Chain A
Amino acid sequence: MEKILELKNVSKSFPGVKALDNVSFSVAKGQVHVLVGENGAGKSTLIKIINGMYTADSGELYFENRKVQVHTPKAMMDMGIATIHQELSPILDLSIAENIFLGTESMLVNWKEMYEKAEKMIRSFGFSYDPREKMRSLTVSDMQIIEIVKAISRNAKVIIMDEPTSSITESEVAVLFRQIERLKKADIGIVYITHKMDEIFKIGDQATILRDGQVVSTHDVKDLSKNQIIAKMVGREITEVYPPRKNIPGETILELKDMTSKKFQHINLKVRRGEILGMAGLVGAGRTEVMRAVFGLDAYKSGEIYYKGEKLNEKGVDEIIEKGIMMVSEDRKGEGLVLIRSVNDNISLPNLKSYLKGILINDKLLALNAQKMIERLAIKTPSGKTLAGSLSGGNQQKIVIAKWLLHNPEVLILDEPTRGIDVGAKYEIYKIICDLAEQGVAIVMISSEMPEIIGMCDRVAVMSNGKITGELTQEEITQEKIMTLAVKGFEYE
């Protein structure tokens, strides 16, 4: 088959991470090439290089056998590369027709012609949307169809689809797949990103598996099995070292019974004192959402939470903190810290009440307590007065944890506690977690890093597509088992 797009030995680094390492990849005319990999494997970086949003540090791009010289989003678009973004929404207050032709209009807008052309295109796809209608009135899958129409209207020769089925229903998926078949017949090359194993076999011609920024291998889909793909996705050796754990899990302290909301369904989960429970799964599986609901940040529809054997009726975050359940957000900079305030200020923020003398704050006591925490967690800071934002990621994370430790948590939920932290600091965070568990604190650790789950947890619950698809005890945990459960929720019944 004739190659339409080819990447040769492309590398791309961001500060501290090698996002892509010597990646070669190609798409042929009329072919669906699936990109598979864990979160952070480099899929997004790869497609952003293809559509010009990033420039590669090294390596070459060829389009229709010609080397790409000007590598900007506009140039790539003009060349014939269209992207259907996963999260990028269209312009909701413009009409369907305006969205389709956005960026290609002539100086004067001929409304009549634009609507007629849009209508014709939509009809040719077998749909009956009114091009005058506002985009806002469409469902997500309708919007995706419109995005495809838009791509075709620009004579796209390669269409990148980034998890196009992540937010649409099964019947809508069928509609989408029919369109993909049509695109293939029209000799359009498709780069398709998905976490859903079934889809790979349903529409994929070739599959490239990425892991940690490198291509593991490229195969014809018909030569692959699901288990092979999973093994290739996770087949790394675990080299990191984890601190020894001496914690002994005790009785159940927190129990979720049949919790359901828009984002998750029928969650049953027990957490024990002194236990480190891992929550594994792909990004968007609903792990954070479940824990946010426990913490009182989000409402849930039905189900119950039992805490120390009693039903937890408290709904407000402040009340739940009072009870001893605390959560460290994954968004350290957004929700965890006030970066432009000092270390002391940050540590004391949730506890200010306890430093009040009348209406004044007892600065001495505040500094003293903060200092204790700085020592206990070995936070590397010139002083308590240093701005939190000037410290490294690892030390910032310690400050966030310190905030809660002053409150004596009994259940501590940590969401991606080591994201963006260097290896040395990671070990220190792990050590803090182990120490806390040893003191009897129940730890729930949401993590997308499999080695960390395997190295740290007594037990792991795996979520997929809003459901818990399985639990593994420490002896059972392997990367393959976790990944198998992590993609399970996407299978069609």
Chain B
Amino acid sequence: MNKKEKINVAEIYSRFGIFIILMVTLIISAVISPAFLSATNVINVIRQNVTIGIVACGAQLVLLCGDVDLSSGSIAAFAGCFAAMVQVASNNLFLALLTGIVIGACLGFVNGLIITRCEIPSFIMTLATQQAARGAILAITKAKPIPGLDGFTWFGQGYVGPIPVPIIIWVIVLIITGFILNKMRFGRYVYAVGGNRAAASASGIKVKNIITKCFTFSGLMAGLGGVVLMARVNSGQPNGGEQLEFDAITAVIIGGTSMSGGVGNIYGTIAGALFVGFLINIMTLLNVGAYYQQIVKGVIIALAVIIDVKVRKGSKK
């Protein structure tokens, strides 16, 4: 019955590992820094990490398929700047929001389409998009920020009652993503495609369509993330969102989603995003330099993946 025990270890880790780690981090942080648990600080940390959290929702679907999307940061800048331009031209913030989302989704769709129809690795295709989209938006804006967003900043800085608008957006996105993954047929297919592509296709699932939809969703989330990002900094930033995709992927992986696809859930991703945010925050409060923070982040990514691979290897034997 050794086999069964190992399976349980794997399951417990992929279900609860990150939550335990998150709780421990919170408790230790609260003990060593009194400022840490204040409502202002907590809300600030969450708000700072909303963009990552939104993009992570898209990254999660793609990773569950067993693919990866490296273009999110560039798509966020591209879509966010276009949204800013529409805002400046029309002063209609919902039209601007819609522009950002649609452009993001279109770029994601192109990613998915080329990846599945030309059968090239997602890693390469999204790397190409990352370069091209960034280049395009820098060319279009001549690398200059787009100022004068007025009401548009509500998406990044506004409040509904005591709660910041970006946090509300993130919560809505999380609910939608959770619903897709847990309640919708599409979500089940995502797990099936990531779990065993051949079996999924033998069950009559159109694997390529599922993958394309995941990239479209990822692009859409990047577009939305871009809107929030631009709104928070009060201008369209063609250089914004750099490394955003890596932060998002980090959150998802730390949250227990397998790099090889098929395993992982949205709760883990929430916890993963918060964990990274709080960890950076406590290091800042403790005056740890930014460079050292980056080192810690790197180590954590490596550890999360090592644990993922080790635990899963054990369960498959």
A residues near B (Cβ < 8 Å) are: 73-74, 77-78, 83, 85, 88-94, 98, 102-109, 134, 136-137
In the assembly, what is the distance between CA of A106 and CA of B185, in Å? 6
Given A91-B196, A91-B200, A103:B205 Cβ within 8 A: yes
Given A98-B188, A108-B184, A137-B7, the answer on whether A89 and B199 have CB atoms closer than 8 Å is yes
Determine whether the beta carbon of A102 is less than 8 Å from that of B198: no
How far in angstroms is the closest Cβ of chain B from A380? 33
Partner of B7, one of A74, A91, A103, A136: A136
Most A C-beta atoms less than 10 A away, residue of B7, B186, B191, B199: B199
Known contacts A73-B202, A137-B7; decide if A90 and B183 are in contact (CB<8 Å). Answer: no
A417 to B136, CA, bound (A): 55
Number of interface residues of B (CB under 8 A): 25
Query: Separation in Å of the A143 CB from the closest CB of chain B?
Result: 11
> Is B204 in contact with A73, judged by CB distance below 8 angstroms?
yes
Shortest Cβ distance from residue A182 to the other chain B in the assembled complex, whole angstroms: 23
Interface on B for A, CB 8 Å cutoff? 4, 7, 11, 182-188, 191-192, 195-196, 198-205, 262-263, 315
Given contact pairs A74-B204, A106-B185, A136-B315, enumerate 11 new A-B contacts (beta carbons under 8 Å).
A88-B202, A89-B199, A93-B263, A94-B188, A103-B205, A105-B188, A107-B184, A107-B185, A109-B187, A109-B188, A136-B7
9 nearest CB pairs, A to B? A103-B203, A91-B195, A103-B204, A105-B185, A102-B203, A91-B196, A74-B204, A93-B262, A93-B195
A-B contact pairs, 13 of them (CB 8 A): A88-B202, A89-B199, A90-B199, A91-B199, A91-B200, A93-B263, A102-B188, A102-B199, A105-B188, A108-B184, A108-B185, A109-B184, A137-B4
Q: How far is the CB of B11 from chain A (nearest CB, A)?
A: 8
Closest-CB distance, B108 to chain A (whole angstroms): 21
B201 to chain A minimum Cβ distance, whole angstroms, is: 8
**Cβ contacts under 8 Å, A109 to chain B:** 182-185, 187-188
The residue in chain B whose Cβ has the minimal distance to the Cβ of A74 is B204
Interfacial chain A residues near B315, Cβ < 8 Å? 136
Write the nearest CB–CB distance from A40 to chain B, whole angstroms: 22
> Which residues of A sit under 8 angstroms from B205, Cβ to Cβ?
102-103
Instruction: Determine whether the beta carbon of A102 is less than 8 Å from that of B7.
Output: no
With a cutoff of 8 Å between Cβ atoms, the chain A residues found around residue B182 in the complex are 109
Instruction: List, in ascending order, chain B residues with CB within 8 A of A94's CB.
Output: 188, 191-192, 195
Q: Which residues of chain B are near A88, meaning CB under 8 Å?
A: 198-199, 202
CB-defined contacts of A90 to chain B, threshold 8 Å: 196, 199
Name B198's closest neighbour in chain A (CB-CB): A88
**Inter-subunit contact B183/A108 (CB<8 Å):** yes
Note all chain B residues with C-beta closer than 8 A to A74.
204
Most buried by A among B198, B201, B203: B203
- Bound together, the chains give a CA A98 to CA B199 distance in angstroms of 13
Q: What CA separation (Å) do A104 and B192 show in the bound complex?
A: 13
- Write out the residue numbers on chain A whose beta carbons fall within 8 Å of the beta carbon of B183: 108-109
Chain B residues contacting A85 (CB-CB under 8 Å) are 202
Q: Which of B7, B182, B188 has most A Cβ within 10 Å? A: B188
In Å, the complex CA distance between A109 and B4 comes to: 29
Query: A157 to chain B: closest CB distance in Å?
Result: 16
Q: Are B192 and A91 in contact (CB under 8 A)?
A: yes
